[in-house]
Amino acid sequence: MNRLLFTIFVVLLVQPAFCQLTYDNLEVNYDSAWTYKNLKVIPIRYKGPGSPGSGYLKSMVSFSQALKKGLITVQERGTSAIENVHWLSLYNNSDRNIFISSGEILSGGRQDRMVSRDTIVHAKSGRIDLPVMCVEEGRWSERDKKFVYQKMANIHVRKVLDQSKSQVQVWKEINNQLTLEKINSKTLSYLPKKTDKNAIKQHNDYLDFFLSKFQHSDSSIVGIVCISGDKIVGSDIFAASNLFYGQLSSMLSGYIDEAEFFGTAPVLTNDAVRKYLDQFLTDEQTQEEFVKKNGKLFKAGGSVVHITTY
């Protein structure tokens, strides 16, 4: 199935959950915020009868879950020719719908890749072309390795990806981060820190703290806004709680990377956070205007599925 037909096919089949993600159906729980070292996470909950998300969205699984369960496979597309660098072949012969977010990273193949836009892969869709960017500038192998799901990139990389849509700018941002962190990566890969035991432990301490908080929370959480120092790091909000929880560990990893590398102890007030969120949660019009300049908004079937802001 070609990309255009696949996109049309998905849009026709997606059923709306709730049309917009605004204060009409969301509430920000400032009093339930959790802080660990350089990162503060404020949960955003769905308010209203029932649980968030329609039947279609509730049946959807995340990219990481689909790969772990063997519901999909990802391979290099075609031959070793470099014109295939920005596409991977994804096969979904399962009966599950899969949500994939821009910024999610796979290691392996002929070089490590990052998904370049939010994508819904419908059940039994067979092979599709998955749009990606390279996050390992110095490697293009003749033989490809098995792709392994890693995590979501930090907000600096995600912002460059979403706003520039430029491979050169993505490489430039990764190289800047490697230089600032004094990491010597022979292949200029975004992922070299995973071999540093101290960095892994520090990262996992963050991750364990926040995941334990979410595990003891309720299922109405559909988003987070993250703070480090005197700045909003970013936010991610979904139209269904299962989409949020399916992405949670990966998202947190990206926000933790951001807080460790660029952040300091959170000091931003709730009033400042509220003013920031008011810019895109008040109504549909202001949301569209704000996100065009400060994030991305993914819709399917006329409904907002995922909002990311920076």
DSSP 264: -
| Residue 235 tokens, joined | 């936010």
CB distance 208 to 243 below 8 Å: no
What is the span of the domain harbouring residue 31?
3-309
| Residue 17 tokens, joined | 């959950």
Model pTM score = 0.90
- Per-residue pLDDT averaged across 16-42, rounded? 89
CB distance 74 to 131 below 8 Å: no
| 205-262 pLDDT, tens digit each | 999 999 999 998 888 999 999 999 999 999 999 999 999 999 999 999 999 999 999 9
CB distance 203 to 256 below 8 Å: yes
CA distance 259 to 227: 8
Residue located via tokens 């936010």:
235
| Residue closest to 310 by CA, chosen among 242, 228, 234, 199 | 234
Q: Which amino acid is at 133?
A: M
> 130-134, 144-148, 151-155, 190-194: which range is least confident on average?
190-194
Number of domains in the chain: 1
The pLDDT value given to residue 3: 47
What phi and psi values does residue 277 have, to the nearest 5 degrees?
A: -70, -30
The pLDDT value given to residue 79: 65
CB distance 240 to 60 below 8 Å: yes
| 63-107 pLDDT, tens digit each | 999 999 999 999 998 765 566 789 999 999 999 999 999 999 999
| Residue 97 tokens, joined | 């719908």
CB distance 214 to 248 below 8 Å: yes
| Residue closest to 234 by CA, chosen among 208, 190, 201, 268 | 268
List of E strands, 255-302: 295-300
